[in-house]
């Protein structure tokens, strides 16, 4: 007996997030026949292999969740200020910084030590992802700063 492996299909929003593609571009590619699509119930899904072919290497900078904070790029914010402004634990922000998820803008010497200014765009992005898929003890970022697909709960970012 031969068992066939069926191709994997993804809803357009999930494919767009996973492969860093614009949803409008995916729809255009479907309309031109370059990406296979199907309807499952009332949801349009596309072949994951086709989406992967269209995608370029993914970086967090390509994600809409990161791009929406472009107005904050290059603005320095201290770890304590970020913790208060975004209502997230100081240790969490510091851990993201130490892992390289949040870039440093500058360090200044202040009374009693140094103050580290972080890129507020990176902070806002990390908080956004944390609020969508995070939770205590859950890994939410890979080494490149991309959201990790949760094993439980909502798959959609």
Q: Looking at residues 4-10, what average pLDDT do you find?
A: 85
Q: Is residue 4 part of a domain?
A: no
Percent of the chain with pLDDT over 70: 92
Between 101 and 154, the higher pLDDT residue: 101
What is the arithmetic mean of pLDDT over 54-81?
Answer: 87
Nearest to 117 by CA among 67, 68, 81: 81
Longest dimension (CA), the chain: 75
With cut-offs at 50, 70 and 90, classify the pLDDT of residue 7: confident
Least confident of 9-18, 55-64, 113-122, 140-149: 55-64
Shared domain for 65 and 123, answered yes or no, is yes
**Helices marked H in 47-145:** 48-54, 64-67, 79-85, 90-98, 120-133
The mean pLDDT of 69-93, rounded to a whole number, is 96
Looking at the domain assignment, is residue 36 inside a domain?
yes
| Mean per-residue pLDDT, 91-116 | 93
Q: Is residue 81 situated within a structural domain?
A: yes
| Long-range contacts of the stretch 49-53 (C-beta < 8 A, 24+) | 49/7, 49/8, 51/10, 51/15, 51/18, 51/19, 51/21, 51/26, 52/19
Residue 1 inside a domain? The answer is: no
Contact 77, 123 (CB under 8 A): yes
Do 36 and 61 belong to one domain? no
Q: What is the pLDDT of residue 63?
A: 82
Residues 71 and 43 placed together within one structural domain of the fold: no
Q: How many domains in the chain?
A: 2
Per the prediction, the chain carries an average pLDDT of 86
Write out the residue range of the structural domain in which residue 139 sits.
57-157
- Phi, psi (degrees; rounded to nearest 5) at 24: -65, -35
11 or 145, which is more confident = 11
In a shared domain, residues 48 and 63: no
Say yes or no to pLDDT of 155 above 60. Answer: no
pLDDT exceeds 80 at position 27: yes
Taking only the tens place, the pLDDT of each residue in 82-100 is 999 999 999 999 999 999 9
CATH number reported for the structural domain that contains residue 77 in this entry = 1.10.10
CB 26 within 8 A of CB 16: yes
Q: Does the residue 3 lie in any domain?
A: no
Co-location of 31 and 41 in the same domain: yes
């Amino acid at each position: 007996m031969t068992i066939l492996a069926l191709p994997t299909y993804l809803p357009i929003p999930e494919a767009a997030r996973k492969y860093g593609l614009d949803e409008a571009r995916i729809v255009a590619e479907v309309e031109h026949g370059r990406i296979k699509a199907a309807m499952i119930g009332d949801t349009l899904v596309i072949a994951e292999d086709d989406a992967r072919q269209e995608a370029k290497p993914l970086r967090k900078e390509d994600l809409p969740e990161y791009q929406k904070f472009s107005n904050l790029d290059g603005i320095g914010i201290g770890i304590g200020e970020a913790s208060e402004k975004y209502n997230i634990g100081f240790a969490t922000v510091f851990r993201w910084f130490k892992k390289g998820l949040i870039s440093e803008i500058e360090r200044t010497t202040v009374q009693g030590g140094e103050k580290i200014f972080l890129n507020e765009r990176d902070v806002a992005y990390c908080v956004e992802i944390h609020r969508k898929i995070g939770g205590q003890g859950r890994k939410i970022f890979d080494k490149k700063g991309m959201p990790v697909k949760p094993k439980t709960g909502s798959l959609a970012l």
